[in-house]
Amino acid sequence: MLDDFFTRALVAGIGLALVAGPLGCFVVWRRMAYFGDTMAHSALLGVALAFLLQLELTAGVFIVAGIASLALVLLQRKGTLSTDALLGILSHSTLALGLVMIAFMSWIRIDLMGFLFGDILAVSRFDIAVIYAGGAVVLAVLAWLWRPLFAATVNIEIAEAEGLKPERAEFVFMLLMAAMIAIAMKIVGILLITSLLIIPAAAGRRFASTPETMAISASLCGVAAVAGGLTASLHFDTPSGPSIVVAALLIFLVSVGSFPVLRRVMGRSHGA
């Protein structure tokens, strides 16, 4: 079954969507979209480090994203700059450092477009194994972390009063984001990872009444975006990663009733 490139891409994309949905919910709830961008931009520095030290790419990206998360926590404790300013510094500096390091490594041919925008159609069986094994670990840790992390999202003072250790939960969540970005880089690329985290979660909110059902809805919206985007990419010969994000955007627009036709149909059904 996995001999066909389209089937491998679909299986890999579904695995990624199932992990991105619950993580993306916390990104939306905690208004951490800029943090997601920072982690994604740091991935290019991780790629350069992996080539320089001859590491596996996923490991290099995770190491750098984890270091960036730790740096953010330490700088936040000093309180010298606001969080958005710190994220801006980390985001642009890691991206620039990655580009400069790659420019110096003239003996290596690196496909920057592939890393920036991904190539899900080129995933291998090993990539699929990494996605599902790593994704299972991420989801298991997130399930263990769900209560303290959600409590800290709602009110960090109450979480501290209940002894839920919200700072530890937040740091572990950052590491989970780093792992997610390392896993997703080959599929949708560095520049589109945050979109896959945020858009399905924002769409899933419209179909959910509880945080748990929103996480499930976000995953299902992501799966639908992967299937629709890959099908459109195959049919129209468009880039696969951006096509998945466009499909996610269409699902979001439908979820908020942005199409006049949808609003009229919904109005008639309520009238009936």
At 66, which amino acid appears?
A: G
In a domain, 72, yes or no: yes
pLDDT exceeds cutoff 90 at 110: no
pLDDT at residue 262, rounded to an integer? 47
* Tokens encoding 163: 């002894």
In a domain, 136, yes or no: yes
Q: What is the gyration radius of the CA atoms in the chain, in angstroms?
A: 19
Of 149, 247, 266, the closest CA to residue 203 belongs to 247
pTM: 0.86
pLDDT at residue 261, rounded to an integer? 52
In the 3-class helix/strand/coil scheme, how is 106-161 assigned residue by residue? CCCCCCHHHHHHCCHHHCCHHHHHHHHHHHHHHHHHHHHHHHHHHHHHHCHHHHHH
pLDDT per residue as tens digits for the range 234-243: 899 988 888 9
In a domain, 216, yes or no: no
pLDDT per residue as tens digits for the range 203-223: 998 888 899 999 999 999 999
Q: How far is residue 13's CA from residue 22's CA, in Å, rounded to a whole number? A: 15
Q: Domain range for residue 151?
A: 5-191
pLDDT at residue 212, rounded to an integer? 93
pLDDT per residue as tens digits for the range 226-236: 999 999 998 99
Put residue 261 in one of left, alpha, beta given phi > 0 → left and psi -120 to 50 → alpha: alpha
In a domain, 48, yes or no: yes
Q: How far is residue 124's CA from residue 134's CA, in Å, rounded to a whole number? A: 15
pLDDT at residue 154, rounded to an integer? 86
pLDDT exceeds cutoff 50 at 124: yes
CB hemisphere CA count around 9 (13 angstroms): 24
Structurally, how many domains does the chain consist of? 1
Mean pLDDT within 24-29: 92
In a domain, 150, yes or no: yes
CATH number at residue 140: 1.10.3470.10
pLDDT exceeds cutoff 60 at 266: no
pLDDT at residue 207, rounded to an integer? 84
In a domain, 264, yes or no: no
Phi, psi of 51 (to 5 degrees): -65, -40
Q: How many beta carbons lie within 10 A of that of residue 265, not counting itself? A: 12
In a domain, 204, yes or no: no
In a domain, 272, yes or no: no
